[in-house]
A and B are shown apart, each in its own frame.
Chain A
Amino acid sequence: MEHIEIFNRLRQQFGEEVVLEHVVTGDEAKGFRDPYILLKTESLAEVARFLKDDEALAFDMLHCISGVDWPEYFESVYHLFSFKHRHMATLKVRTSKDDPKVPSVTSVWPAADWHERESYDLVGIRYEGHPDLTRILLPEEWEGHPLRKDYETPTHEHLRELGL
């Protein structure tokens, strides 16, 4: 199924308030690249369940989750793949800078477990409903989230204070 058809199917099921937008990145002059579907953050788990269970979509594999720090909001990006239909989809949800919270999809795709922990560790998005949301790559006592744009790289003195 083409990406726009996946979007239409989701729109038909959940309506405009949940399935917000279909965006093709790039521009007219330099060519278009990969598209994505923007979802309402609170409805993510519900939409994810539908994406997996629906016969026509059947997204059985979660390929990757990436957290992105934009100037006005954080984004959690989901790359999905279906072995049955051999199509891919990209979903995005946005969350506020002050209190970044996104529903967890671990109950839908167990693969989300480590990806969500990584995104929490490096970008600092909290995945609500995750069974064990702890740091995965950095030590437990690490301060800050390195992939945020305002992150200040610690100096050697600072690391020594932390005992690292």
Chain B
Amino acid sequence: MVIPAQPKPLQGEPMVIYMGPQHPSTHGVLQVELHTDGEIVNRAIPRIGFLHRCKEKIGESVPYDAYVPYTDRMDYLAAMNTNWAWASAVEKLAAIEVPERAEYIRVYVAEFNRIASHLVALATYGLDLGAWTPLLHAFRERESVLDILEELSGGRLCFGYMRIGGVANDITPRSIEMGKAFLKQFRAKLDSLNELLSFNHIFIRRAANIGVIPGEQAIAYGMTGPMLRASGVDWDMRRDEPYSIYPKLNFDVPVGQGLKGKTGDNWDRYWVRVQEMYESMKILEQVIDGLPEGEFRAKVPAILRPPAAEVYCRQECPRGEVAFYLISDGGKTPYRMKVRGPSFCNLSILETISKDMLIADLVSTLGSFDIVMGEVDR
């Protein structure tokens, strides 16, 4: 038997580790270059672009209506919302009136998609921190939501349901029944998910007081959506710069309050998303009650030629504000189109806040960002 020599003391030298692009907790093809000193992260540099598909270049060569399916593949967890952001940008550019019924249907699918997207966000966040079971519960609920969206659009992930001036198909009585049945039981399911994960002591210890982003810093880095609200900034496009039928709807905007730690920590970001699902349910109940009769799509010319002008149109999607900047020269395709993805802006703060963090806490922080690489890289 060989007796090993005295173990060498730890070197304590800085070391560079590449986390990703195939690491499970990077939520897609993100690479984070970690400069570590033992377990401490000195610097974490996000490297992106692995999923770049030239969306903006493609946008310059296809007609406005044909671009809808491309927007599906940006934020593929909230395809309806990105679809809608594109459709409304083109409608603003071409001055198209959307029928009221179409607006109701849009809110119906968009809020369901918000629930589905937030369910993935918190399920995978639990998974990052070692909680397996909530994932199964959350994904079962998400399946029911996807069934509703499939009933309307035929798709389960990339829907392509929005059209310029409305939606592809009218809402069916069956999908409304499915929606009602889902809303009836989902509140209780969400409550039980809270007991399982949100107020779990181990989960709180891993999430609270970590990755704290103060409100001012969040604004300076251009953060939007749940991440901004978790930092205590009371801003939601749906309420503060309302579009579509949101002014008619009654809902609250959850804001981070530092319930378990400091305002703007990982737990706050998680908790804002949970509360937003309750608010989405409120919205959906009102939409089902108030659905008017009428057209589901406006009459739009087969070949759309908007006037030579520019618009910047933004909308509140599950991850934050998606904005499209469109420049038209009067032709069939945009002269230039630019997508402002919320995940792209939200991720840019990672390097700043991850300094002197433990590697395990970096995983927790990144999970709470809820990024979708399809939209970071476009």
Q: Do A and B come from one complex?
A: yes
Q: Is the CB of A77 within 8 A of B325?
A: yes
B33 within 8 A of A: no
* Complex: A60 Cα to B57 Cα, angstroms: 30
> Count of A residues near B, CB < 8 Å?
39
C-beta contact mask, B152-173 vs A, less than 8 Å → 1, else 0?
A: 0000000000000000000000
New A-B contacts (18) at CB < 8 Å, excluding given A66-B336, A114-B345:
A26-B307, A26-B309, A29-B307, A30-B95, A31-B307, A33-B309, A34-B311, A64-B338, A64-B340, A68-B336, A83-B219, A109-B220, A110-B220, A111-B220, A111-B221, A111-B345, A122-B56, A137-B49
* Complex: A115 Cα to B49 Cα, angstroms: 13
B222 CB, nearest partner CB in chain A, Å? 3
A36 within 8 A of B: yes
User: Which among A26, A33, A34, A109 has the highest number of chain B CB atoms within 10 Å?
Assistant: A33
Interface residues of A in 48-107 (CB under 8 A from B): 60-64, 66, 68-69, 77, 79, 83, 86, 88, 90
Q: Residue of B at shortest CB range from A117?
A: B348
B332 within 8 A of A: no
Question: Which chain B residues border A79 with CB–CB below 8 Å?
Answer: 312, 323, 325, 340
B241 within 8 A of A: yes
Contact of A26 among B221, B235, B308 (CB under 8 A): B308
C-beta contact mask, A8-48 vs B, less than 8 Å → 1, else 0?
A: 00000000000000000111011111101000000000000
C-beta contact mask, B327-338 vs A, less than 8 Å → 1, else 0?
A: 100000000101
Question: Which chain B residues border A64 with CB–CB below 8 Å?
Answer: 312, 323, 325, 338, 340
* Complex: A47 Cα to B321 Cα, angstroms: 26
Q: Is the CB of B314 within 8 A of A63?
A: yes
Q: Residue of A at shortest CB range from B52?
A: A137
Taking beta carbons and an 8 Å cutoff, which residues of A are in contact with B?
25-27, 29-34, 36, 60-64, 66, 68-69, 77, 79, 83, 86, 88, 90, 109-111, 113-115, 118, 122, 135-139, 146-147
- Known interface pairs A61-B222, A109-B222; A34-B56 also in contact (CB < 8 Å): no
Question: Which chain B residues border A113 with CB–CB below 8 Å?
Answer: 348
Q: Is the CB of A86 within 8 A of B241?
A: yes
What are 26 residue pairs bridging A and B, where the CB atoms are less than 8 Å apart in the complex? A25-B309, A26-B307, A26-B309, A29-B307, A60-B219, A61-B220, A63-B222, A63-B323, A66-B325, A79-B340, A83-B219, A83-B235, A90-B312, A110-B221, A110-B352, A111-B348, A114-B344, A115-B345, A135-B49, A136-B49, A137-B48, A137-B49, A138-B49, A147-B56, A147-B60, A147-B336
Taking beta carbons and an 8 Å cutoff, which residues of B are in contact with A?
48-49, 52, 54, 56-57, 60, 92-93, 95, 216, 219-222, 233, 235, 240-241, 307-312, 314, 321, 323, 325, 327, 336, 338, 340, 344-345, 348, 352, 377-378
Shortest 8 CB-CB contacts between residues of A and residues of B: A111-B222, A30-B307, A26-B309, A33-B309, A66-B338, A137-B49, A64-B340, A25-B309
* Complex: A68 Cα to B70 Cα, angstroms: 21
B337 CB, nearest partner CB in chain A, Å? 9
Question: Which chain A residues border B325 with CB–CB below 8 Å?
Answer: 64, 66, 77, 79
* Complex: A64 Cα to B307 Cα, angstroms: 23
Q: Residue of A at shortest CB range from B49?
A: A137
Q: Is the CB of A31 within 8 A of B95?
A: yes
- Known interface pairs A86-B240, A110-B220; A147-B57 also in contact (CB < 8 Å): yes
B285 CB, nearest partner CB in chain A, Å? 29
B330 CB, nearest partner CB in chain A, Å? 9
Question: Which chain B residues border A146 with CB–CB below 8 Å?
Answer: 54, 57
B90 CB, nearest partner CB in chain A, Å? 12
* Complex: A68 Cα to B325 Cα, angstroms: 11
B217 CB, nearest partner CB in chain A, Å? 8
* Complex: A40 Cα to B234 Cα, angstroms: 35
Question: Which chain B residues border A90 with CB–CB below 8 Å?
Answer: 312
